[in-house]
Amino acid sequence: MGASTSRHRQCRPRQSPINIYTKKVRYDSSLKPLYIYYDPKSSQRLVNVGHCFNVEFEDTNDKSVVSDGPLVGYYRLRQCHFHWGASDKDGSEHVIDGLEYPAELHIVHWNAQKYPTFDEALEHPDGVAVIGVLLKIGETNPLIQSIIDSLDQVKEKNKECPFTQFDLSSLLPNDRNYWTYQGSLTTTPYLECVTWIIFQEAIPIDSDQLQHFRSLHCTSEAEDPAFILENHRAIQPIEARVVRSSFK
């Protein structure tokens, strides 16, 4: 059945982000703890991709990976980025019992054990694993400050600069409780290839740091400047899915 021939039957059954309604979450005792290892030597550069900025990592080897948890095999770290709002009152993509956080970190990995390239992995339901970390307004975050100190070198779209020795694992919350569900990319083309792993514990960022994100340009140097004021997608229907938790 083609997407165009029928509107009443869901043709995109696993879209992201979603509202995680904790009363409907199912604790799954078979979910293992996550194994996460990020080598600071894997970080390579910072790139303004127009709708956000990516910290990009070397993904031609298995030095930085996530495995276990809900995953089969290991997934290779490729990039991380943030989603934010025009003000501190919204900005996260995932929402918890209707509560929007001011921002959300996405750590993108791909199934290098099964697929030859990232682009190929995007075409498969088990191709990508994204760890989502919610951000709350709190004390200044020194790791995020190290990114902000380089943002003026990538102010315009398509600009990039070296960004090495970044210890991404220091951005992870201490508490590793997580929710997991099958979903999609939250930017076009919204491919349904993502196993989402969302930590229950939020990490802090201060309001001034968040303001720096909004000063990035979504335009290139040749265009009239416009800003990336916000880049978070609206929540999508959960359809027939159930969110599982690693904790009671």
Residues that bind ligand 4HO (CB under 6 A): 106, 108, 130, 185-187
108 binds, among Zn ion, ligand 4HO, none (CB under 5 to 8 A by kind): ligand 4HO
Whose tokens are 């975050």? That residue is 141
Q: C-beta of 111: minimal distance to ligand 4HO in Å? A: 13
Contact 147, 210 (CB under 8 A): no
141 vs 186, which CB is nearer to ligand 4HO?
186
Q: C-beta of 25: minimal distance to ligand 4HO in Å? A: 21
Which DSSP helix (H) or strand (E) runs through 191?
A: none
Best CA proximity match to 132, nearest among 99, 101, 98: 101
98 vs 189, which CB is nearer to ligand 4HO?
189
Number of residues that bind Zn ion (CB under 5 A): 1
Within 10 A of 54 (CB to CB), how many other CB atoms are there? 20
Alpha helix segments (H runs only) across 86-204: 118-121, 142-151
36 vs 108, which CB is nearer to ligand 4HO?
108
218 torsion bin: left (phi>0), alpha (psi -120 to 50), beta (else) = alpha
Q: C-beta of 121: minimal distance to ligand 4HO in Å? A: 9
Rounded Cα–Cα distance for residues 237 and 248 (Å): 24
Within 10 A of 125 (CB to CB), how many other CB atoms are there? 12
Rounded Cα–Cα distance for residues 111 and 120 (Å): 10
Q: 56-95 mask for Zn ion (x: CB under 5 A)?
A: ----------------------------------------
Q: 91-120 mask for Zn ion (x: CB under 5 A)?
A: ---------------x--------------
185 binds, among ligand 4HO, Zn ion, none (CB under 5 to 8 A by kind): ligand 4HO
Q: Tell me: does residue 232 bind Zn ion (CB under 5 A).
A: no
Tokens of 146: 């190290």
Could you say which of 51, 81, 217, 232 is catalytic?
51
Q: C-beta of 106: minimal distance to ligand 4HO in Å? A: 4
Best CA proximity match to 108, nearest among 141, 64, 77: 77
Measured from each CB, the residue nearest to Zn ion is 106
Within 10 A of 30 (CB to CB), how many other CB atoms are there? 7
Rounded Cα–Cα distance for residues 63 and 241 (Å): 33
Rounded Cα–Cα distance for residues 173 and 209 (Å): 18
24 vs 54, which CB is nearer to Zn ion?
54
Q: C-beta of 248: minimal distance to ligand 4HO in Å? A: 28
28 vs 187, which CB is nearer to ligand 4HO?
187
Q: Identify whether 232 is a catalytic site residue.
A: no
Q: Which residues are identified as catalytic? A: 51
Residues that bind Zn ion (CB under 5 A): 106
